[in-house]
């Protein structure tokens, strides 16, 4: 098949489509995956200059491509199933605050902080200012602001976690 004339390809695809799909389905057991595999097999057959042009030769060629793609699919599933699943970590209190800044629970938790702690948290995380800039604004040393923010985050975390425990108990 040395020529670039592929007029024979479309009729073969139409005539073998259901057979190819059933064969792929038998290999992978999932209709959507089988459809993807058949589509990829046709693409590979179309792009290969060695693809035979008669149905008698094309069908085994197509099935071989489907077998190879099904093997690749199963190998990938095995590799993915062996990957460790990372544990679900509790949300960082600041991420939670940023996502739910209008939430009454968060506003209540923020109001449990003293004024300097609220100012430091707001400037650092809602205005995204550096510790140096926050220190300059609230009139403290940078080290003091870092400690202040760290302690305020701890208070917020405890307050929000206590709220989650209360919600779970009520539910």
**Could you report the per-residue pLDDT of 32-71, keeping only the tens digit for each?**
999 999 999 988 988 888 888 777 788 888 888 999 999 9
End-to-end CA distance of the chain: 70
Q: How confident is the model at residue 115 (pLDDT cuts 50, 70, 90)?
A: confident
**What's the pTM?**
0.46
Nearest alpha-carbon partner for 16 in 33, 41, 36: 41
Alpha carbons 165 and 171: distance in angstroms, whole number: 10
Placement of tokens 């589509």 in the chain? 39
> In angstroms, rounded to a whole number, what is the distance separating the alpha carbons of residues 144 and 166?
33
Which CATH number is correct for 93-170, 1.10.10.10, 3.30.70.3270, 3.40.50.720, 3.30.70.20?
1.10.10.10
Q: What are the φ and ψ backbone dihedral angles of 93, each rounded to 5 degrees?
A: -60, -35
CATH of 9-81, one of 1.10.1740, 1.20.1260, 3.20.20, 3.40.1350: 1.10.1740
Residue ranges, CATH 1.10.1740, the chain: 9-81
């Amino acid at each position: 098949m040395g020529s670039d004339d592929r007029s024979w390809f479309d009729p073969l695809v139409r005539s073998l489509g259901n057979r190819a799909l059933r064969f792929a389905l038998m290999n992978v057991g999932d209709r959507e995956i089988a459809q993807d595999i058949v589509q990829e097999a046709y693409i590979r057959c179309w792009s290969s200059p060695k693809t035979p042009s008669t149905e008698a030769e094309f069908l085994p060629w197509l099935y071989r491509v489907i077998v190879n793609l099904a093997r690749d699919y199963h190998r990938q599933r095995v590799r993915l199933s062996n990957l460790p699943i990372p544990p679900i970590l509790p949300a960082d209190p600041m991420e939670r605050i940023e996502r739910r800044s209008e939430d009454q629970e968060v506003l209540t938790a923020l109001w449990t902080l003293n004024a300097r702690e609220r100012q430091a948290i707001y400037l650092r995380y809602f205005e995204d200012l550096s510790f140096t800039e926050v220190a300059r604004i609230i009139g403290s040393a940078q080290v003091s602001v870092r400690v202040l923010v760290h302690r305020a985050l701890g208070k917020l975390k405890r307050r929000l976690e206590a709220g989650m425990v209360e919600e779970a108990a009520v539910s």
